[in-house]
Structure 1
Amino acid sequence: MKHALIFCCILFSFVISAQTSTDQQLANLYYNNGEFEKALPYFEKILTKQSTKFDQLRYVDCLEKTNQAKDAEKFLKKLVSSNSNDFDYTIALGDLYERTERTSQTEKLYNEKIKNTTQNGYEVIELYNSFIKKGKVDWGLKTLEAGRKSLKKNYPLQIQFAEVYSLLGRTDEMIDEYFDILDQYPNYTSNIQNALTKQIDFSEDKTGVYQKLKEKLLVRIQKKPNDFVYSEMLIWLFIQKKEFKSALTQTQALDRREKGNGNRVLDLAETCVENSDYATARLAYNYVIDQGAQNPNYYSAYSALLNIRYREITIEKKFQAQDIVDAEKEYRKGLKLLGWSRNAVYTAKELAEIKAYYGNDAKGAVDLLDSCLAVPGLSDFEKSQVKMALADVLVLQDDIWQASLYYMQIDKEFKFEAIGSEAKFKNARIFYYDGDFKFAQSQLDILKESTSKLIANDAMKLSVLITDNLGLDSNYTAMYQFAQADLLLEQHQFDRAFKLYDSINAAFPAHGLADEILFRKAQAMQYQGKWQEALDYLNKIVMFHMDDILSDDAIFTIAEIYENNLQDKEKATEYYKKILFECKGSLLTVEARKRYRALRGDASASEDL
């Protein structure tokens, strides 16, 4: 009997809950459709049970929309009385007075509420937030002014004042409020920077906020030269505006005043490198180097300075034949200075890559990497990194099986780490180049589950390539020739690779490798810094192979070239947008949307979705 009674109670509560849910759905359905008379009885049912503020305010709206303003007012007054700490009800009642042309009552209501909250800083902020949420900025300001007058310095309201001045376009007062915060709380710097980032468009200073901010910072620095916080803010401001030379001038001055070791200057140099401002980065690194070898940052600055040359050649592809010669001289000088120790190995690897892939000296690169392996004190991981670079160069020399041995060693030693997965993938490519597609496929299938997303994606692409094209012709001829051409491409024998790709097109004009061949040619042009030729090949994929698997990769690569290499942001935006609207289901959609919004700058997440 007892168990039956419990069961009945549970069943009853379930029925009540289900009924409430149904009433809620119907009430909101009718409300959203503008059928307020139909919505009213359902909201009334909800209110007799357990209702939320959302339900209550929608019920009030339904009453007003069905010409029952007096009932709405009566209900709101009851809510205001029973929820004195929830200011949303008070503002809703004031809104009702405004809509029924009783402005004086609105003002009386709001002024009374402001008067009653001025003794409590928390309530002042809560009331202010409620006004701002409803777009009542002037009332928000009145709340803060009354609060400041009453509380004086007992409760800080500068953040709120800065916000409301920003909303009202009172820029000078906004900046002064932020600086008053810094005077009292220097550790609030990052909070203020975050707030300013949301309020200032650094790409286009149409309102002049940036200029005013800079001028006021310079005044504060002159008045308070020992308060480094304003110098730091000015440096941050220059960085946001991408005025890196100005930022460097201020950073060097601050470093000298602090009698620092150039740590700030090194951090700025890294930012310059990330933004491809290599000229300013060089000035920054040389500033640290000029302080002498006794500076603890001397060697790291020297290595970073050499890395700029490496990036210009290998990433930016901005070099002439003489630049390769100059780069080797600089690196040799640097290695002599750094000493042949484990600290120099990373720099030596960079030189080896330049020699092998751009200086036509693979043998010299192998000798250099062999010397790195002989350096005492290297960790197993550091040795594996050198072996990976050495194996890559051996592939370039067409010594693919010696390279395979190195890849297998790394795979075995670091089986569950990213470098092990990378080695396994590169070893699978060796077998792919040799025409052993089945073994290559078996290794790629394992790598599809790799924790490294990049390796897993590369393995998936090569696996799909083999699966889709192996067996389209009975003797595997096209696929084997394609793999051989890929090896030539890896070895930078571009002309021979292109001839082999073209022979496939000639012998098998309808083969599914056509889009892959165009993509490989585009990659070869990218590697040589021939951006327009790369675009030509990629656009052929878009024009003639839009239904094939590489179409989204081609569009995304076009966008990247325009963004990163040709500095045409408008074109880049156009192609990222093309992925969003014409490549539904692409794995590149998320990244394309992210870059599209970053380039456009004014897009909201909801708009893009």
Structure 2
Amino acid sequence: MRIFLFLIFSMAMCTQTWAQNDALAQQYYEKGEYKKAIVAFEKLYKSAPRKINYFIGMINSYQQLEDFETAEKLLLAEIENPTLKRLNPILYVETGFNYDLKRDSIIANSYYEKAVAYTQQKISASYSIGRAFEKKSLLDYALRVYKYAMEENPNYNFLNNIARIYGEKGDIEKMFSSYLDLIKNREEQKGYSQRIISQFLRNDPNNENNTLFRKLLLKRNQEEPNLLWNELLSWLFIQQKQYKRAFIQEKAIYMNGDYSLQRIFELANLSIEDGDDETAREILNYIIDNSTQDMTIIRASQNLLQLDIDAVADGNYDEIQQRFEALLAEYGRNFRTILLQRDYANFLAFQKNDPEAGIAYLKEATELKLTLRQAAVVKLALGDILVYQEQFNQALIYFSQVQKALKNDVKGQEARFRVARTSYYKGDFAWAETQLKVLKSSVSQLIANDALQLKLIISDNSLEDSTQTALKKYAKADLLSYQKKETEAIAKLEEILQNHKGEKIEDEALFMQAKLYEKRDEFDKARLNYKKIIEFYKEDILADDAYFAMAQLYLNHFDDPEKAKQYFEEIIFNHQDSIHYVEAQKAYRRLRGDAVN
């Protein structure tokens, strides 16, 4: 038993030493210490002659030192080594490449041909030899190896390698075709292939590569109809933000095999997020007309109602109220329609300006048989309306009930944030800060970010002003904004800017005021505020927010993409820790004409 344990221990020690020596050889090579690398690789190869990588590492080190003669002697000796039971055909590629380095292309090609001939005799070697050619950027030889193998044996699939090679060669059409062949033969490779293809596409539908890819898909769909091509066309149109054209493809998929409306629902959500309300309405109406599932119809109707609420310009909501009431009459007031009931109560409170009706409606909903999460939806909405009415203590009761019932749930964390925000509105900053400290580690990144932002506002503006006078005014302005009283909120913020100059709260007041100006389409005033933050508070926490807001203004309202690029650039190079960093990067690349995955 002792001998057995000793042998296991010895083998483990040998394996560890071997791994260390391997890593050391690689380290020498990567650091450019090629003479040391040669010694290390030679030692490893003598210990493990079957591991051709050690021999190749030694050869590559000689080549880096431009000692091609020694590399040649070693390669030829290895090829002719009588003690080798089987020649490793990769040596033909390595030898040919060494002759290429010596500028002897005739002999180099003769060895490459030997490697190709070897695969024709033994197809199982195709992958290793093809990869050896790829590593040396001998792409045409690699293509020959892979194509021959697939022609001779249909079980071999080198489409991924072939597509990648065409991409490296700049033959985009053949690359696209190869990836389409790969997706057709192995649909599980679709996601991977789309990621690679997207690197060659742009957001511009008229881009040469986009046009080429679209034509290839349309041609395949004509010659060999397959829903796969419709899916890829839809994907392409979504990349180009052509949601109406994507919808045409999604309808074809739905009518010819995919009887779920989930894909179409996701497209509606994308359209809404991107501001294409016209297409979103068309999609949602299609879902309502074609679905046989009550829950799907209810969800689509909710989304459609919300779009139409946002579009009302004259303040006349009677038609929308009738639609709410018709839906609730048809599907009833029960657990299935709880989100619709919440939306209706919010509509009564915030659009119809009848918070009492909204509160009464939600209190009735609390009497229904609901799950804890459904009850939480109702109580959170009820609390929100009570905050709107400045009935803070009543709101806190409902928020606290949800927080207690769903302690470890995201809904519970949402409730805790509402407790903090309500306490902040009523001037209880210490309790608000206590709640926000807990939420900084929330599983929801959105809640965590909101909590951190509010905590910083409270803590930064409590240190130098023990009376918290400016902070109380700011919280009041924030509440007025929540109550949609923009004029009063702007005035309250102006009071801070006039009477609390030089205090920490100034940049916060400028930023909130700018956002309110944007809501009122007063973009010049908003720009001036952001400019002041950038000029006078560039070292403070709102600087990156101001840069991002400025970029969006120039992009969406002043039609000056070049100016927008400058502000996105500022975030990318000087504010890498900003929450806007990823979006700024994407927007910057889009403006520059890069592909955006």
**Distance in 1 separating the partners of 2:514 and 2:90:** 60
> Is residue 582 from structure 1 mapped to residue 584 from structure 2 by the alignment?
no
Give the drift of 1:113.
0.7
Q: 1:365 to 1:85 in 2, by over 3 A?
A: farther
Aligned to 1:363: 356
Q: 1:533 to 1:124 in 2, by over 3 A?
A: farther
Alignment partner for residue 408 of structure 1, among 396, 400, 424?
400
Give the drift of 1:223.
4.3
State the Cα RMSD in Å.
Answer: 4.2
- The letter for the 1-side match of 2:411 is I
**Distance in 2 separating the partners of 1:413 and 1:110:** 72
| 1:194-248 residue CA offsets vs partner (Å, 9 max, x unmatched) | 55334444536544x44444444444444445x4334444444433443332332
> Is residue 488 from structure 1 mapped to residue 480 from structure 2 by the alignment?
yes
Give the drift of 1:173.
4.7
Give the drift of 1:505.
3.0
Provide the TM-score with structure 1 as the length reference: 0.81
Q: Which structure is richer in relative contact order (CA contacts within 8 A, separation 6 or more)?
A: 2
Give the drift of 1:518.
0.9
**Distance in 2 separating the partners of 1:386 and 1:144:** 62
Alignment partner for residue 350 of structure 1, among 334, 343, 350?
343
Aligned to 1:450: 442
**Distance in 2 separating the partners of 1:185 and 1:21:** 37
Conserved 8 A contact 1:286-1:301? no
Give the drift of 1:543.
1.6
Aligned to 1:434: 426
Aligned to 2:325: 332
Conserved 8 A contact 1:172-1:212? yes
Q: 1:93 to 1:516 in 2, by over 3 A?
A: same
The DSSP-based 3-state class of the residue aligned with 1:402 is helix
Aligned to 1:70: 69
Q: 1:319 to 1:503 in 2, by over 3 A?
A: same
| 1:379-398 to 2 correspondences below 5 Å | 379-398=371-390
Conserved 8 A contact 2:339-2:377? no
Aligned to 1:320: 313
| 1:120-139 residue CA offsets vs partner (Å, 9 max, x unmatched) | 54421332233223322211
Aligned to 1:36: none
Conserved 8 A contact 1:522-1:534? yes
Conserved 8 A contact 1:131-1:139? yes
Conserved 8 A contact 2:96-2:110? no
**Distance in 1 separating the partners of 2:436 and 2:175:** 58
Conserved 8 A contact 1:95-1:106? yes
Give the drift of 1:259.
8.8
> Is residue 282 from structure 1 mapped to residue 281 from structure 2 by the alignment?
yes
The DSSP-based 3-state class of the residue aligned with 1:49 is helix
- The letter for the 2-side match of 1:197 is S
The DSSP-based 3-state class of the residue aligned with 1:290 is helix
**Distance in 2 separating the partners of 1:251 and 1:474:** 60
> Is residue 110 from structure 1 mapped to residue 112 from structure 2 by the alignment?
yes
**Distance in 2 separating the partners of 1:21 and 1:194:** 34
Q: 1:420 to 1:306 in 2, by over 3 A?
A: closer
The DSSP-based 3-state class of the residue aligned with 2:435 is helix
Aligned to 2:156: 155
- The letter for the 2-side match of 1:514 is E
Q: 1:270 to 1:440 in 2, by over 3 A?
A: closer
Conserved 8 A contact 1:23-1:42? no
The DSSP-based 3-state class of the residue aligned with 1:410 is helix
The DSSP-based 3-state class of the residue aligned with 1:118 is helix
Mean alpha-carbon deviation: is it higher for 407-416 or for 487-496? 487-496
Q: 1:170 to 1:358 in 2, by over 3 A?
A: same
Alignment partner for residue 44 of structure 2, among 50, 72, 96?
50
The DSSP-based 3-state class of the residue aligned with 2:501 is coil
Give the drift of 1:184.
5.5
Mean alpha-carbon deviation: is it higher for 509-518 or for 17-26? 17-26
Aligned to 1:34: none
Aligned to 2:48: none
Mean alpha-carbon deviation: is it higher for 464-473 or for 251-260? 251-260
> % of aligned pairs identical?
27
Aligned to 2:132: 130
Q: 1:204 to 1:53 in 2, by over 3 A?
A: farther
**Distance in 1 separating the partners of 2:481 and 2:85:** 74
Mean alpha-carbon deviation: is it higher for 164-173 or for 275-284? 164-173
**Distance in 1 separating the partners of 2:219 and 2:27:** 62
Conserved 8 A contact 1:303-1:334? no
The DSSP-based 3-state class of the residue aligned with 1:70 is helix
| 1:96-245 to 2 correspondences below 5 Å | 96-149=98-151, 151-170=152-171, 173-174=174-175, 177=178, 189-190=190-191, 192-201=193-202, 203=204, 206-207=207-208, 209-225=209-225, 227-245=226-244
Structure 2: 5+ residue runs without aligned partners? 46-50
Conserved 8 A contact 1:266-1:301? no
Conserved 8 A contact 1:121-1:155? no
Aligned to 2:247: 248
Aligned to 1:536: 528
Give the drift of 1:409.
1.4
- The letter for the 2-side match of 1:101 is R
**Distance in 2 separating the partners of 1:527 and 1:139:** 62
| 1:499-553 residue CA offsets vs partner (Å, 9 max, x unmatched) | 3322233333221111111122123335556555444322321122112222123
**Distance in 2 separating the partners of 1:50 and 1:266:** 59
- The letter for the 1-side match of 2:39 is K
**Distance in 1 separating the partners of 2:174 and 2:24:** 50
Aligned to 1:310: 306
Conserved 8 A contact 2:284-2:304? no
Q: How many equivalent pairs are there? A: 582
Give the drift of 1:391.
0.9
**Distance in 2 separating the partners of 1:193 and 1:340:** 44
Q: 1:362 to 1:220 in 2, by over 3 A?
A: same
- The letter for the 1-side match of 2:541 is I
Q: 1:325 to 1:562 in 2, by over 3 A?
A: farther
Conserved 8 A contact 2:413-2:439? yes
The DSSP-based 3-state class of the residue aligned with 2:44 is coil
Mean alpha-carbon deviation: is it higher for 275-284 or for 16-25? 16-25
| 1:233-282 residue CA offsets vs partner (Å, 9 max, x unmatched) | 44444334433323323333443344946555444434433443332232
Give the drift of 1:112.
0.7
The DSSP-based 3-state class of the residue aligned with 1:153 is coil
Give the drift of 1:111.
0.8
